[in-house]
Chains A and B, each alone.
Chain A
Amino acid sequence: MITFTNVSLIYPNSTHTVLEDLTFSVNEGELILVTGATGIGKSSLLRLINGLVPHHTGGILAGDISVNGISTQTVKPGGLAHLIGIVGQNPSMGFVTDMVEEELAFGMEALNTPPDVMRKRIEEILDLLSLTQLRKRNISTLSGGEQQRVAIGSALVMHPKVLVLDEPTSALDPIAAEEVLSILHRLVHDLSLTVIIAEHKLERVIQFADRMIHIESDGSTSIGTPQEVLAKSSLTPPIVQLSRALKMPEIALTVREMRRLTEGFRSSIEIPHPSSPAPHSFTPMIQSRSVEVRYGDARALNQVSADFYPGEIVAVMGRNGAGKSTFLKTIVGITSPKSGSVEVMKSDPVLLTGRARTSLIGFIPQEPSDLLYGQSVAQECDNADKDNEVPKGRTLSILSQLVPGISTGSHPRDLSEGQRLCLAISVILSAQPQIFILDEPTRGLDYSAKAALVSIIKQIATEQNHLVILATHDVELVGEVATRTIFFSDGEIVADGPTVDVLLSSPAFAPQVAKIMAPVPWLTVNDVLKGIASSP
């Protein structure tokens, strides 16, 4: 279906090739997973398939790519629209119209499809993706998961033979992500659709993949079945880590397989008694009392009360649109509550300004690039040092801890999403805030950048005794770092307690290791190793 022959790609004004001498072919009905470190060229590889690269972005392409026998060098992306459906990293940026039904029709109208055919196909797609309820809705009012489904629908409605998705689940909560992935799985099996997915959160997709393409940091690639590639690569989703830690001969990819393989091991361990957390001896840093926030008629937060103490790492979880971001914004003081009160270190966060604010609260918003205005990474770091009145070079040193070897001359916009996030984090952390709050910090982050983020967060909380709060959909990250988890639903706190208790009480939000090890309350590979070491 798709053949790459000796493909190399170099962008203008760049000194190194993005992809080098890549040769592979994809058969019909395969689900291919593309992985690699953040900023390595996964998106470029995907956009090469329908010719957006280099037709739209510039750059020099060597070698040949053909899809269903058509070479992308001779045809513009529009000429492949009936053959390839592409869903971008941020679907909301790709919507042309404002209503679900019209968005689905847009591509077909452009290709002059007869109205009765259009009508039939749209009804089919609405049913297939359970969008019937949403057909008249304005797209901007949909949740992230719904928007993702509309984007997939508007690609599928063209009856393509190939569907290309760039991180389709990165902004989705675990349940919505599961939904999207199971739809893809069904399409592959029912319609023999060829699907190419780029994804960082391997634990979510690996079980669906037939083969994977892993791009190494030097531009070389390895292609093979997930077992083959994972066995020799540095990529370590938790399930692989666990297989290695338990010194198992083969790598299992699904919870089911892993539970079968570990049956003997699991029956040998005693269930440890849960240790009750030590009561807090400090005064709370943040106190919120029956906070209520409204957007127009909709109630975003309802009677939310919570205290936060120094040294805690608190995870805020919940489905898309449950009120997580609103809660964080209220604590930070950029949204003021309609009723109730928020106090940060005994003062109103809305009134904080300048240096007093930056040294007290550091906040990474969902769009981290809003924080950046420098023309290069180096300039951005200098600006941050100046603004925060810290010795020159501190921001850069934090950044190189997060993403080693980032080129300081490049423009922040040219960085990958993950690298840009790391830059924003360094800018905020250079002010050494006593409270560090992150909204969705793991979008677009690979395993190594995530590990670096984890170690920084832990360092802030344990060594400096500062407070860290993060809103995230990444259950693995929560299991790894959070000491306490707050669960939001429909603007209300429905659970607030130690991470182990909260995560294990809901199967959808339990990390992979916990699912494998149940009923033993271990969340991460480290927990397992510690548990084995302490038991005789």
Chain B
Amino acid sequence: MKATSRNVNGVDIIKLDGKITIGAGDQQLREVIGSACNEGKNKILLDMSGVTTIDSSGIGELVGSYTTVTNRGGKLKLLHLPAKLNELLHVTQLITVFEVYENEQEAVSSF
């Protein structure tokens, strides 16, 4: 998995590309979010458009990332969910937890 970050109006948009699966992308996601928190970033928008595969470990890391950021007083939201990830979030009922946006400007303004 590759992660690239940019800042738009105080919101850190982290674009994730590739797989978030057990033993690989899941650990990387934890590190990316951990580093962002340690740098004091508390408005995080994860752009998921480049995520090709996510398994239950990856979903677990998304939940863990949400908890990590929230516990530090920040907010983590999702942008551009691929169709299959959207289905997984519905099936697991996690769609009720995450704020999800299809439009970047709208997402940035929501923080």
Same complex origin of A and B: no
A residues neighboring B (CB under 8 Å):
none
